[in-house]
Chains A and B, each alone.
Chain A
Amino acid sequence: MSEHEFEVNGVRRTVSADPLRRLLDVLREDLALTGTKEGCGEGECGACTVMIDGEAVNSCLVPVCQVQGARVTTVEGAGLESVQEAFLEEGGAQCGICTPGLIVMTRAWLDTCEREGRVPDEAEARRALAGNLCRCTGYGKVIASALAAAAEGGER
């Protein structure tokens, strides 16, 4: 056991945990942030996507010791409202289990586009979301949601 200090959704947290404990478990069990889902536990499905210092990662593959001092953003965090709104309006969420991961990934993608001055388009959206499996939608409405969020611009 050791102490790990990091920021989650803008709040500084200190967690006492085995350094190899998965960030996913720390979020869900120690911090009661159950919006982040486990779909496979091996980095294939993307349901557990969170941002660490703005980079999207699979939290099932990240040991908690690696987020020491970092900023972690989950689906419960701020700054996701326009993406959430787009998924509601465009029908991008069906059963909802992959939705938190998709929403965080979409935010990370739009932030990257903005940072690098690229224009978000459908081909980019498909590449950006390729690591997030959804079995309900066929992805058409997921991509439409991501592009609708992009059309909202950098607004949060």
Chain B
Amino acid sequence: MTRVVGTRLRRPEGPDKVTGRAMYVADDVPVGCWWGKAIRSPVAHGELLGFELDPAFDFSQVVLVRAADIPGVNVVDLIVDDQPILASDAIEHWGQPLLLVAAADQATLDAAVRAIDVRVRESEPLLDMEAAEVVFKEIVIDKGDVDAALASAPHVLRRTYHTDSQEQMYIEPQGAIAWPEAADGTVLVRGSLQCPYYVQRALARALDIEPARARVVQAATGGGFGGKEEYPSVVACHAALLARAAGQPVAVIYDRHEDLAVTPKRHPARVRHATGYDDDGRLLAMDVDVLLDGGAFTTLSPVVLSRAAIHAAGAYRCDAVRIRGRVVKTNHVPYGAFRGFGAPQVCFAVERQMDAIARERDLHPATLRKRNALRLGDTTATSGRLEESVGSEEVLAKILERTGFEDHPWCQPRPAAGRKRRGAGFSFFFHGAGFTGAGEVHLKAKVDVRLAADGRCEVHSASTEFGQGTVTMFTAIAAEALETGPDDVLVVEPDTGAVPDSGPTVASRTCMVVGGCLARACRELRARIDAHGGQGAEGSFRERARAFLAAGGDGRVEVTYASPPGLVWDDERYEGDAYPAYGWAADYVEVEVDLDTFEVSMERFVSAVDVGKAIQPQLVEGQIEGGSLQALGFAHIEVVGTKDGRFLQDRMATCIIPTTLDAPPMEVLLVEEPFSHGPYGAKGVGELPMDGGAPAVASAIEDALGISIDRVPATPERLAAAWLAAHPEEAL
């Protein structure tokens, strides 16, 4: 029995958030701070010729930073060194930073920006990913003899699916404040960010200083969803270069327009399926081709592709699987990390393919899922065996029992009733927790816990809180492992000057990986205190901790992550145990479609999710509901289009996300199939709820209208076109 894990703690940082005292980066601008901004490319492809400075403006009152002024390497540190901090000659995308400007106040900065003209030679941009020639990364997964299995399969279905881009739309735009080098040689940056150590490495290389001299502190962060994984390195480098030039702290705070226009979004995808199956709909062969538009620079695309490829065959058992994935270079603004990280795109495709097979075989989609779902002991597309913590059957059973979907005559002819049609849809999916393959082994995530003088236990980690509940979840795990109450735990602010590198706060890894290290560290600390004072010694935890310290006890424990034994991964062949554990889920959606406006109204949403163990059920529900609504938005209302390499939706008025009125009532059914190497059985939950909403909505619209939905978002325009193509008699 757990005492704190599984209960409902209030967020330790909650009181600051509800009273407005929480300090986000723009709330805490130091006195004398300057303001900085990037001058950006007005074209998607071309060559930078130079800048024309209006002689009528007094440039002595501002500082300018050009590519040549960068003391270190002119590269945004990530995976491949192809993205310059500032373009020096070649321009690869619209909005690419070319020159930095800072001034003592906003008005002077605005005037300076107006007084600078960029001279470029424009060339033809490449904007069609199908025509791209530069491949950032290709991945092939091969299991069994796919060609033979396809040739001998009684039925083969070939279809192509598309998903458009999507904006993270954290409500707090990107921002960072940098201080010039202090007397001890340290450069300080405070920012809205997910990954302090990513920013530290980027600063060290740009400024040519030791990493330890770049101190990065996370301010309160108003949402991330992956959008603050890689881009804060760009903002921080800009601010730090300007602070170095100005000799003053410099704030670079984006307004919403700039944020929407230039920061990375979800990769657009085209996914082709050729699936062989028998009369009963059993999968015999899956041949999947995934193409992602990476935009102009590599950013995190190879890793996004990796997750896309590994999840492309869905949560299904099949002995013959071939997955070929490519992410290619275009002249679009670089695409990057967004919750789900490649999985929502391929999950949409495979789930729609399963529905299409169900229609072909006249099977209920739920029956088809149950017949093919991966179970304990099965092997995944990468031939990894599922040894434990597989909640697939339980999530399916739970959601079907709750919704009665199996009795719903999905896509069967029904008497047409008026201009509003109702439909129900379904999806079944999984998501790997933690970094892929040997990622966690290479990363060696660290956590340390220290007894403070007052006997409280301080938790030091680089894992950041940006709404998911990291601080609360860590408090619960530490209190549980220390066998004390949450008040004896203090999770300190992520500051690279004070916390070890726990790895980035991404990839559904914080609870399972970092939380697991934390539990180990706290158990060790507890054992030390017990050994000193004798078990059952009198007094509160803090009293015994203080006695332990007073007697010279070592109150600091550092733990480095150790992968579960027996995991095998071959990165060359993309074969083996891709993840230590998977979260499993099924979504159910009811919609109503208006045949005059083609507006889709979400009437009901139910999700059954296996998280291993809900360390804090209220937080887990919040993650599932919030992630699911992002997925529903992705399905039908969130449009991100481009023209000539620019995002068309570059203001909040046009780049819409769901409101309270677009959100259906949501019901979460938690399943806990414990994972022996996760803390108290917990796996990941952050990304999983982003994967299944879009195909479930498409399935429900298909049920309502009888037309195939092979692309999201299923906007009213697209639905109207598909409906009128099927019902030419209704055309005006």
Interface size on B, residues (CB 8 A): 57
Partner-contacting stretch, out of A62-70, A98-106, A112-120: A98-106
Please indicate the chain B residues that have their CB under 8 angstroms from the CB of A44 in the complex. Answer: 651-653
Min CB distance, A153 to chain B, in Å?
Answer: 19
- Describe B's contact surface by its main secondary structure: loop
The answer to whether A16 has its CB under 8 Å from any CB of chain B is: no
Q: Say yes or no: B14 contacts A41, CB within 8 Å.
A: no
A152 at the interface (CB under 8 A from B): no
Q: Count chain A residues whose beta carbon lies closer than 8 angstroms to a beta carbon of B.
A: 49
CA distance A39 to B175 in the complex (A): 12
The distance in angstroms between the C-alpha atoms of A45 and B628, with both chains bound, is: 20
Indicate if B535 sits at the interface (CB-CB under 8 A): no
A96 to B17, CA, bound (A): 5
Whole-angstrom CA separation of A91 from B658 in the bound complex: 19
Interface residue A141 (Cβ < 8 Å from any Cβ of B): yes
With A and B bound together, what is the CA distance between A94 and B628 in angstroms? 15
Is B541 interfacial (CB 8 A cutoff)? no
* In contact, B223 and A136 (Cβ under 8 angstroms): yes
B11 touches A137 (CB 8 A): no
Which residue of the partner chain, among A37, A100, A140, contacts B663 with CB atoms under 8 Å? A140
- Contact call A39/B171, Cβ cutoff below 8 A: yes
Contact B660 A143 (CB under 8 A): yes
Whether A93 contacts B17 in the complex (CB less than 8 A), given A126-B661, A133-B659, comes out as yes
B467 pairs with A95, CB closer than 8 A: yes
Query: CB-CB < 8 A to B619: which residues of A?
Result: 91
Contact A138 B171 (CB under 8 A): no
- With A35-B19, A130-B661, A137-B622 known as contacts, the answer to whether A95 contacts B171 (CB < 8 A) is yes
Residues of A within 8 A of B438 (CB): none
Q: A84-B19, A95-B222 are in contact. Are A138 and B14 (CB under 8 A)?
A: no
A76 at the B interface (CB under 8 A): yes
Are A35 and B169 CB-contacts (below 8 A) given A140-B665, A141-B625?
no
B371: interface (CB < 8 Å): no
Tell me how far the C-beta of B538 lies from the nearest C-beta in chain A, rounded to whole angstroms.
Answer: 34
CB of B18 within 8 Å of the partner chain: yes
Rounded to whole Å, the gap between the CB of A130 and the closest CB of chain B is 5
Q: Are B256 and A42 within 8 A (Cβ)?
A: yes
Distance of A58 Cα from B651 Cα, bound (Å): 17
Say whether A139 contacts B172, CB under 8 Å: no
Is A150 in the interface zone, CB < 8 Å from B?
Answer: no
Proximity bits, B221-233, A CB within 8 Å = 1, else 0: 1111100000000
What residues of B have a CB within 8 angstroms of the CB of A125 in the complex?
660
Known: A135-B630, A143-B660. A37 touches B172 (CB 8 A): yes
Q: Which of A35, A40, A138: most chain B CB closer than 10 A? A: A138
Q: How far is the CA of A76 from the CA of B622 in the complex (A)?
A: 26
A40 and B256 contact, Cβ closer than 8 Å, known pairs A91-B621, A91-B622, A130-B659: yes
Complex Cα distance A40/B618, Å?
29
Binds A, one of B22-30, B151-159, B288-296: B22-30
CB distance from A103 to the nearest CB of B (A): 6
A4–B624 Cα distance when bound, in Å, is: 46
| Inter-chain pairs besides A42-B651, A87-B18, A96-B17, 11 sampled, C-beta below 8 Å | A38-B26, A76-B20, A84-B15, A88-B14, A95-B172, A95-B467, A96-B222, A97-B170, A133-B169, A140-B621, A143-B660
Query: Which 4 pairs from chain A and chain B are nearest by CB?
Result: A35-B20, A97-B222, A95-B467, A96-B17
Interface positions of A (Cβ within 8 A of B): 28, 33-42, 44-45, 47, 74-76, 84, 87-89, 91, 93-100, 103, 125-127, 129-143
26 contacts between A and B (CB under 8 A): A34-B20, A35-B19, A40-B652, A45-B256, A84-B18, A87-B14, A91-B618, A91-B619, A93-B17, A95-B224, A96-B13, A96-B222, A96-B467, A98-B222, A126-B661, A127-B661, A133-B659, A135-B626, A135-B630, A138-B629, A138-B663, A139-B625, A139-B658, A139-B663, A140-B621, A140-B625
